[in-house]
Structure 1
């Protein structure tokens, strides 16, 4: 019986491992090799490609913006998702609201980008709302501020990311909350524990697995925001939202594949290190 279970285990695991090796590991190894060669002749260049990217101002700007975006978005998304899940967990019609939160995930990226353009361009809905509010209150006049072409584009992108990813975050938090024993919470309440004590001592520790999953998914999804940024502001947006993916796209168009390979290796190494560090932190926590 044990051999049969082991055989079925290998039967199900092998196709996935084979796919990862063929479509992920082998191509990545090829990228590593290209990062040490020239783009045109393929000659060995040592670490010149790595030296070039770390002296490239566009690369440094893209890294700074990407790190800033990730460090701001993930804590905000995790906190807002948890707060929303706690509110929804006590509602009888929570399923309908969950569907509403998941709706942005079903919307095509091009549609989302078009909506942001309609809202945040000079004559967009947001400026129209501010203009009418100002005229009603008498505090200001007409507003024709440019958002997507200024530093404000960064916060538009942050809002887009949180709006689109809030759905799965709330669902995962709700799944974690549903696994917490109601008897345990009731026993703590009877013993005199307040709502904050029950949340801090019982609810939060039991959400450790959900927190790990949400942080990893949010971290990876923060590197996929390029589509929205590209469709709303183009290949050369305001420098506040010039991300690594913009740089990779521009290097690819210019056939600077050696630099792109070196930057991809560095990015992949940082991503893997961050995920392993988070896993180690959760295991020891």
Structure 2
């Protein structure tokens, strides 16, 4: 009977497994093959494609900007969204209104966001007009080093509502009886936060961190619509390099770079998971 149920489960999984194999696994294996072959002729070239990628100035600049973007954005997003979720939980039923407010940026099309930023940060835009009232000279903000921070703000503004909802889901899974028992023993708000709430949010922390990391790559849409294929140097991300190499049909370098990025992210996720498992076992 159990064996029959197992085969039923396999049967229902077949469509999903077929989809993953066709649209994820096979393309990845093809990219892995191309990373070790030449773009023309398909001859095996060993690790020369990886050497070309790592010594490419455009890739190194884009990688530096992407790492900087991730290191700044992920902690800021996690901390701000967690703080907001704790506040929403504390105010009770009134928090439903704020949950809706924070989710609004996710419903706004990317093109509308870009149009708003251009109107606001353009050389003749709203921000410079406001500064001019106080005798302060403005700038074409999208073509300065400040464009990077505009991109950071865009990422935080667009994703904070999503992370707030995920944190709230994790908070709702913590039994209220634990807090009641702790308060009976004399625990205050601070003790409840550090000894009950945060330890019980570790599984949610892993999920939210991974999703936030993956969402950080989606900010390319805004960067591309603002600056095109070659934006201001501080806004030049890895996705720009991939886009330009794909356009130039440099599939060997593109594949090698994609494999490098994949394994770096994969290793980081594994390290984070192992660290959280050790913390959970302490």
Calculate the TM-score normalised by the size of structure 2: 0.93
Q: Deviations over 1:136-177 (max 9, x none)?
A: xxxxx1432221111111110000000000111000111111
> C-alpha distance in 1, partners of 2:272/2:20?
22
2:7 corresponds to 1:7: yes
Write out aligned runs for 1:23-42 (5 A): 23-42=23-42
Trace 1:96-115 onto structure 2 (pairs within 5 A): 96-115=97-116
Q: 1:84-111 CA deviation, whole Å, 9 max, x = no partner?
A: 0111112222222211111111221111
Partner of 2:254 in structure 1?
260
Given that 1:128 and 1:143 are in contact with CA atoms closer than 8 Å, whether structure 2 keeps it comes out as no
Q: 1:178 aligns with which of 155, 167, 172?
A: 172
Q: Is the 8 A contact 1:73 1:161 kept in 2?
A: yes
1:71 matches 2:71: yes
Paired residue for 1:138?
none
How far does residue 4 in structure 1 lie from its aligned partner after superposition?
Answer: 4.8
Structure 1 range deviating more: 39-48 or 259-268: 39-48
TM-score by length of 1: 0.92
Matched, 1:122 2:120: no
Task: Please give the alpha-carbon distance, in whole angstroms, between the structure 1 residues aligned to 2:205 and 2:252.
Answer: 38
**In structure 1, how many angstroms separate the alpha carbons of the residues matched to 2:183 and 2:127?**
46
Give yes or no for the alignment of 1:54 onto 2:54: yes
2 CA distance for matches of 1:268 and 1:243? Answer: 15
SS of corresponding position for 2:90: coil
Q: Deviations over 1:177-225 (max 9, x none)?
A: 1122222212222322221111000011111121111101001111111
Once the two structures are overlaid, the 10-residue window that deviates more, 241-250 or 115-124, is 115-124
Alignment RMSD, CA only?
1.6
Contact (CA 8 Å) 1:70, 1:219: kept in 2 or not?
A: yes
User: Unpaired segments of 5 or more residues in structure 2?
Assistant: none
Gaps of 5+ in 1: 136-140
Residues matched between the structures, number: 278
Whole-angstrom CA distance in 1 between matches of 2:12 and 2:169: 26
**Would you say the 8 A contact 1:77–1:166 is kept in 2?**
yes
